[in-house]
Amino acid sequence: MIYEDSYRHKGMRSRLVAHLQKKGITDLAILQAFGSVPRHFFIDTAFLEHAYEDKAFGIGEGQTISQPYTVAFQTQLLEVERGNKVLEIGTGSGFQSSILAELGARLYSVEVNRKLHNLARQRLQQLNYQATLVCGDGTRGLQTYAPYDRILVTAGAPVVPATLLEQLATGGILVIPVGDEKLQKMLKLVKTGDKQLRKEEHGDFSFVKLKGEKGW
């Protein structure tokens, strides 16, 4: 589906950026990315008037597009630098993928649902973002292109999949929500050595369930 990106939409994005700043997002590159990526491209037309509110919306297939603050918060924890090789687990609508691409990541993204995978591919192509999108079990990572400088998981996991830690480069960062099916702790794991990790916890969040061999 082709959407228009009007001056009105850009104004709505500016207000969203100001809101994210007030909530504690300080990374200017991330704020600029939110000012550039048209979120209304990624949601159902029924929600267009609310596209730039700080809310999650259903995208079908039992999945959601996360609220903008959650996307920004995870991205800020990830500390993406231009040129980083980034693996995203859970392409979903493609909005988080677009934010990462806008930041200059060399992006690889895995989505288990074929319909969502195809829709995300169309949206990223329409916006001219370059990314390698794969339909498959994200809990297994994507060994073909490993190791990765950054890994981001956009669904709630019962545990940290060992395969993702194995595919993370030394010095790399993994951000993943881990907990039960309703509430998860946002974890930031920094791989300081071959078998060494530094772990940080960053508050409670509620994500859809991570599906796959190492998920729910």
Which residues are catalytically annotated? 66
Residues 6+ apart with CB under 8 A from 35: 10, 13, 14, 17
Please state, in angstroms and rounded to a whole number, the distance separating the CA atoms of residues 38 and 127.
Answer: 9
Pairing of β 131-135 and β 148-153: unpaired
Most distant CA pair in the chain: distance in Å? 50
Residues 6+ apart with CB under 8 A from 142: 87, 108, 110, 134, 136, 167
Residue 78 burial (10 A CB sphere; 0-12, 13-18, 19+): buried
Q: At 23, is the secondary structure helix, strand, or coil?
A: coil
